[in-house]
Amino acid sequence: MDVFPTKDSLTVTESFEFIIPFAYYDTNECLEEEHRGKLSRYIIHSVLGKNHERKLNKDDFKHLSSILVELFPTEVESTYFVPSTRGCVPTGKLYSSYLNLRNSLVKVGLIGREARRVGHVLEQNDSSMDIFGPTIDTDAMEIIEGNDFNDKNAIESAWKRTYDIREEILKTEICTIDYVNKYPYLRTPAGYELFLIDAYERAPEIRELNLHYSISKICSKIIRKAKQIRNEATASDILKQYENGLFISDMYAAQMKNIA
């Protein structure tokens, strides 16, 4: 691992891709997503810059992740690398940066592309693996893992193109908060729209769901229940609001507040 950066060498580097995150951490004791991306790109570029044909294995990524955690103690290694498990592809910032750089090298002919399907793992020994998956849309992954929210259409397009790889990630033991933190747009007010995209992909039939019609089919049951809880006037008011076309969730919330 002599070609790898060390903790000491990183602290004296003159690259702004490292200096800026380090200075931010020194003040705030935490990193932002953009800093994690800069650090990962810098480290991968420094390693492959010495030998652009080198393939990194599981131990390499674990080693690099551990260095980052040593330098930034509030970080966790799984942010930068999670090994392949149960047929799922590896994930993490270092992994994504590695794929992006290799794809760039392939495009200009500096290295050859190995046609392996997503998730294929070739065990060379107990700790080594070939994790280069050329069918992964790394450009799309970069978009959904980034903090640039200016182009909503690009984000939604990238989200659709990464559905399969994200489904593989969900099969791992990743928790909900880590998944949401992995894709910053999910934390914005419009983030729910990405969840809708996945919902439509999993169950296309819900696109045809007519909520108003569905509620109307059980309207009589709603009224009967309302009568039991309060009185006929309240039940009639519920029906009038429904017939007047008020948004069902607003109507329901208001009535529940009155009943409470």
Query: Residue 106: what are its φ and ψ, rounded to 5°?
Result: -65, -45
The residue among 7, 123, 124 whose CA lies nearest residue 70 is 7
- pLDDT tens digits for 161-209? 888 778 766 765 567 777 888 889 999 988 989 998 998 888 887 777 6
Is residue 95 within 8 A of residue 34, CB to CB? The reply is no
Which one-letter DSSP state was computed for residue 110? S
- 58-72, 162-176, 222-236: range with lowest mean pLDDT: 222-236
Q: How confident is the model at residue 239 (pLDDT cuts 50, 70, 90)?
A: low
Q: Rounded CA gap, 198 and 203, in Å?
A: 9
Distance CA 36, CA 146 (A): 10
- CB neighbourhood size of 258 (10 A): 10
- The alpha carbon torsion through 163, 169, 175, 177 (nearest 10 deg) reads -50
The answer to whether residues 222 and 238 touch, using CB atoms and an 8 Å cutoff, is: yes
Q: What is the mean pLDDT of residues 205-229?
A: 66
Q: Which residue has the higher pLDDT, 21 or 121?
A: 21
**Percentage, residues of the chain above pLDDT 70:** 64
Cβ pair 200, 207 in contact under 8 A:
yes
* pLDDT level of residue 100 (50, 70, 90 thresholds): confident
Q: Please give the helix or strand (H or E) that residue 51 lies within, else none.
A: none
3-state secondary structure 111-160: CCCCCCCCCCCEEEECCEEECCCCCCCHHHHHHHCCCCCCCHHHHHHHHH
0.75 surpassed by pTM: no
Contact criterion met (CB below 8 Å) for 159 and 194: yes
Measured in degrees and rounded to the nearest 5, phi and psi for residue 58 equal: -60, -45
Is the pLDDT at 115 greater than 50? The verdict is no
CA distance readout (Å), 76 to 121, 244, 259: 24, 53, 47
Instruction: With H, G, I as helix, E, B as strand and everything else as coil, classify residue 13.
Output: coil
The whole-angstrom separation of Cα 151 and Cα 23 is: 29
Looking at per-residue confidence, does 224 or 161 come out higher?
Answer: 161
Assign 3-state DSSP to the chain and report helix, strand, coil percentages, each to 5.
Answer: 60, 5, 35
Cβ neighbours of residue 94 closer than 8 Å, sequence gap 6 or more: 40, 43, 44, 61, 64, 65, 80, 81
> Please, which pLDDT band fits residue 70 given cuts at 50, 70 and 90?
very high
Residue 215's pLDDT is what? 62
On whether the CB atoms of residues 158 and 183 are closer than 8 A, the answer is: no
Q: Which amino acid is at 154?
A: A
